[in-house]
Amino acid sequence: MIDITHKSSTLRRAIAQAIVKVGSLETIQALVDRKVPKGDVFEMAKTAGLFAAKRTADMIPDCHPLPIEYTGISYQIEGNSIYIFAEIHTIYKTGVEVEAMHTASVVALTMYDMLKPIDKNISIEQIKLIEKKGGKTDYSLKGTEGLGASVIVCSDSIAAGKNEDKAGKAIIEKLEKYGLKVVDYKIIPDEKEIIQQSLSNLAGMGRDVVIFTGGTGLSPRDVTPEAIRPLLDKEIPGVEEAIRVYGQQRTPYAMLSRSVVGLIGKTLVLALPGSTKGASESIDAVFPAILHIFRVMEGTRHEGA
């Protein structure tokens, strides 16, 4: 199965369809009147669909076992066609479109099995996905491509040429995948005054995003939070919490991180861990959803408002 450990759990929904086409309107009437010899077709097929939703991972090898939080099965009759709609909800790291299609398929097969004694001209058609929502792509915002970003590595040893930067480069790679243009990449020592001067200069230049990596731990030279926090106009504690929660799910050491996130004017500032893994996972934790900040600052109403 595909590795989804880097993903965050979100509310995910999917609706799938299947169509059962019968040979005559007499079959439809028997179905509606609950006079099919094998029993109540609607209820039996619905029950089969509920079982199918919860057992999709048992049938489809690459599907991840996941918590099914809601299953809804509904019918619509048009002429000699019975439209089946299966809706699945979960709060998890991966979508439920296969679960929805599997459910619709099993409902359709159950109807076929129950109706075949009275109708030899039944077909199952158009098993397909109607809608899916809640994945990471839903939080990718149009209009944020090309935002200018700066990546600053805070490290005495890297600045002195004793070590190679990997965390900053990992951040750059991820930012570019989200359409951000990295226009500054600098390595500076763990000096409070240098960090503050670098941030003030970049914010003054109107950079959209400034990301620091390093100096957020608890060693004597880790001063990045102390340097950045006094310069912020607004802190965004929810983003800081999201980064630590995401990290905590992967290593208990994440609770020791002192990541800081906030705004200077319209410049988004993030201070992330200095380890390559910690920096990379911090980006995974909050991007691309964090870019919604730029729409909020423009006065755009929240979705659903």
What does the pLDDT look like over 211-251, one tens digit per residue?
Answer: 999 999 999 999 999 999 999 999 999 999 999 999 999 99
Domains of the chain as residue ranges with CATH: 10-133 (3.30.70.640), 148-300 (3.40.980.10)
List CB contacts of 71: < 8 A, sequence separation 6 or more: 49, 50, 53, 54, 86, 87, 88, 89, 103
Using N-to-C axis directions, what is the helix angle for 97-115 and 41-54, rounded to 10°? 150
Indicate the average pLDDT of the chain: 93
* Lowest-pLDDT choice from 2-16, 141-155, 161-175: 141-155
pLDDT tier at 300, thresholds 50, 70, 90:
low
CA 25 → CA 43, 75, 79, 128, 228, distances in Å? Answer: 20, 16, 7, 25, 73
Of 7-11, 143-147, 256-260, minimum mean pLDDT range: 143-147
Q: Is 75 helix (H, G, I), strand (E, B) or coil?
A: strand
User: pTM for the full model?
Assistant: 0.76
The model's confidence at residue 298, banded by pLDDT at 50, 70 and 90, is confident
Mean pLDDT of 200-210: 96
What 3-state DSSP class applies to 64? coil
The pLDDT assigned to 7 comes to 85
For the question of residue 113 being annotated catalytic, the response is yes
Is residue 216 within 8 Å of residue 240, measured between CB atoms? Answer: no
Annotated catalytic residue: which of 33, 40, 62, 113? Answer: 113
SS (H, E, C) 137-164: HHHCCCCCCCCEEEEEEECHHHHCCCCC
- Taking only the tens place, the pLDDT of each residue in 129-163 is 999 998 766 665 555 667 999 999 999 999 999 99
Pairing mode, if any, of strands 267-272 and 209-213?
A: parallel
| 102 pLDDT tier (thresholds 50, 70, 90) | very high
Terminal C-alpha separation, the chain: 38
DSSP state of 6: T
For the chain, the C-alpha Rg in angstroms (whole number) is: 27
